[in-house]
Amino acid sequence: MKKKLTVVIFTDLDGSLLHRDTFQFDSIKDYIKNLVNNEIIIIPNSSKTEKEIEKFNNELGIELPYISENGSFIHGLNLINNNFPNKIVLSREKEELLKIFNDNVPEQLKNKCTQISKIKKKEQEKIFGQKGSKLKDALDRKYTLPFLFNGDKNEKNKLIKILNSSSLTVQEGGRVLNLCDNINKVKSMNRVIKILKKTKDKIKTIAVGDNYNDLDMLKNCDIPCLVFNDQFRLDQININNLIFTNKPSPEGWADVIKTALVKLEY
């Protein structure tokens, strides 16, 4: 008997599945539901917070497992199998990360960093493109600290080097930099795959992204998919078998997934 193929889609949200500016996805909602009904596992893997992704699930009308805050927290694998854990925390809390930051980063570089939580509300709204309760959800972080960096490229590289030597990382998203633990989207993705392999023999992974903090995830899956982002030049991205669409999200997301599933003969 031929073993059944399990397809797992790890997807970024903002700019990949959700519209870059409006954060809407109504035009592909039925398509996503159809994928889930066909036993395809979809796992958002995003810099978004737990509350933001829970609200995405509510809008979708399906409770998907997910990974929040750039790989910090895995939630809901028990939805796939009752024996899998509901919650896996892979990061130290943000207060501990901030202490390490303050203890190791010289004042000259600290002065170049501005925590998003400490700037005016109007500026926060402009950065996140959200207002009211949605902005509050975006700022409700347990494991990461978004910040702005007002320095040149050499200073930023110096900051990253210092943080890396202190077992911290900086993840670059579309709008801000994020101070994170020694964790990222691909590490959490691999943790999930390891757990899935306990019960599923034949797994193929699709990863969808649109930004720099998604590239490692794309490089470490079976079918990498990139949704249009005018920041990128394709000739500068060295990823084998990359599927790319000129369509922006959310339609671009459906476009690359359809192509990926054809490749997998699913």
pLDDT tens per residue, range 191-201 = 999 999 999 88
* Cα gap 136→256, rounded to integer Å: 32
| Full residue range of the structural domain in which residue 123 is found | 94-181
Q: What is the DSSP letter of 62?
A: S
Give the residue among 57, 46, 78 at the shortest CA–CA distance from 171. Answer: 46
Q: Measuring CA to CA, how many Å separate 125 from each of 120, 145, 180, 189, 248?
A: 9, 16, 22, 30, 22
Of 152, 181, 210, the last residue of a domain is 181
Which tokens belong to 64? 């998907």
Residue 233 has pLDDT above 90, yes or no: no
Give residue-wise pLDDT tens across range 206-223.
999 998 889 999 999 999
44 with 66: CB under 8 angstroms? yes
Burial of residue 18, with CB atoms counted within 10 A of its CB: 0-12 exposed, 13-18 middle, 19 or more buried: buried
Say yes or no: 135 and 161 in one domain.
yes
Q: Mean per-residue pLDDT for 180-203? A: 96
Say yes or no: 140 and 158 in one domain.
yes
CATH, residue 106:
3.30.980.20
The torsion angle over the Cα atoms of residues 103, 108, 112 and 113, rounded to 10 degrees, is: 10
Question: What is the pLDDT at residue 44?
Answer: 98
pLDDT band at 232 (very low <50, low <70, confident <90, very high): confident
Say yes or no: 78 and 100 in one domain.
no
Say yes or no: 193 and 259 in one domain.
yes
Say yes or no: 66 and 188 in one domain.
yes
Which tokens belong to 191? 């943790």
Of 163, 181, 199, the last residue of a domain is 181
Say yes or no: 210 and 79 in one domain.
yes
11 with 210: CB under 8 angstroms? no
Q: What is the DSSP letter of 72?
A: T
* Cα gap 217→202, rounded to integer Å: 20
Of 181, 215, 232, the last residue of a domain is 181
Give residue-wise pLDDT tens across range 8-38.
999 999 999 999 999 999 999 999 999 999 9
Residue 1 has pLDDT above 50, yes or no: no
Say yes or no: 11 and 118 in one domain.
no
Residue 91 has pLDDT above 90, yes or no: yes
* Cα gap 224→34, rounded to integer Å: 21
Give the residue among 104, 123, 98, 90 at the shortest CA–CA distance from 179. Answer: 98
Say yes or no: 176 and 102 in one domain.
yes
Question: What is the pLDDT at residue 198?
Answer: 94
Per the model's pLDDT, the better-predicted residue between 233 and 98 turns out to be 98
* Cα gap 39→59, rounded to integer Å: 20
Residue 173 has pLDDT above 90, yes or no: no
Say yes or no: 56 and 45 in one domain.
yes
Q: How many domains does the chain have?
A: 2
Say yes or no: 83 and 137 in one domain.
no
**What is the pTM (predicted TM-score) of this model?**
0.94
Say yes or no: 196 and 65 in one domain.
yes
